[in-house]
Copies of this chain bind each other. A is one copy, B any other.
Amino acid sequence: MSVRHCLLGLLASEPGSGYDLTRRFEEVLGAIRPARHPQIYGELTRLADDGLIAAEAEGPRRRKEYRITDAGMAELRRWLTESGSDHTIRLDPLLRTPFLWLLSPAEVRAHLTEEADHYRGLAVRYRHLAAAGDDSPQSCAARLTAEAAARLYEALADWARDSRPGT
């Protein structure tokens, strides 16, 4: 149900087609939430059925440009202000960690090194993003998100580095 509200949020900035939104979703929310294009296209038709978004006339390649409706903005605000957000998280890269006792120190070291490299790369990327953009409200919020992602990946990179068993 969350992709639904994120699409409303993206459309609150500016209208867009399914393809646009797929790219913008990845750009804005990629660090937080994966979403493939079939899910997005599906959710868009459902949102349109519910009157929360509306499609302009078709453009080239039967492109439909969606914009958010008043009902959609109301629902978006309701979602943003409701107290108690969903606190579920999933960190698949850490799934092996509790079972590393089954491996040799060398194998553990190899695994954690690989992980550290991966996290470090992402940390750098989001650290840069957290310094980009202009002074628009949207950019400020985007920086906030990038800052969270940067801190998160920095913490994971440090953790993996510090946790490697000696030689």
A142 within 8 A of B: yes
Instruction: Choose among B93, B107, B142, B163 the residue that contacts A81 (Cβ–Cβ < 8 A).
Output: B107
Q: List 7 A-B contacts (CB under 8 A).
A: A28-B98, A32-B95, A33-B92, A79-B96, A86-B95, A151-B155, A151-B158
Highest count of chain B CB atoms <10 Å: which of A34, A100, A137: A100
Q: Which residues of B contact A44 (CB under 8 A)?
A: none
Closest chain-B Cβ to A163's Cβ sits at a distance in Å of 6
Contact B155 A98 (CB under 8 A): no
- In angstroms, Cα B115 to Cα A87, docked, is 9
Q: Which residues of B contact A29 (CB under 8 A)?
A: 95, 98
A167 within 8 A of B: no
Q: Which residues of B contact A140 (CB under 8 A)?
A: 101
- In angstroms, Cα B156 to Cα A83, docked, is 18
Contact A148 B92 (CB under 8 A): no
Q: Which residues of B contact A9 (CB under 8 A)?
A: 98-99, 102
Instruction: Choose among B5, B79, B87, B99 the residue that contacts A12 (Cβ–Cβ < 8 A).
Output: B99
Contact B87 A100 (CB under 8 A): no
- Among A145-162, those with CB < 8 Å from B are 145, 147-148, 151-152, 154-156, 158-159
- In angstroms, Cα B107 to Cα A81, docked, is 7
Q: Which residues of B contact A92 (CB under 8 A)?
A: 2, 32-33, 85-89
Q: Which residues of B contact A50 (CB under 8 A)?
A: none
A132 within 8 A of B: no
Contact A94 B147 (CB under 8 A): no
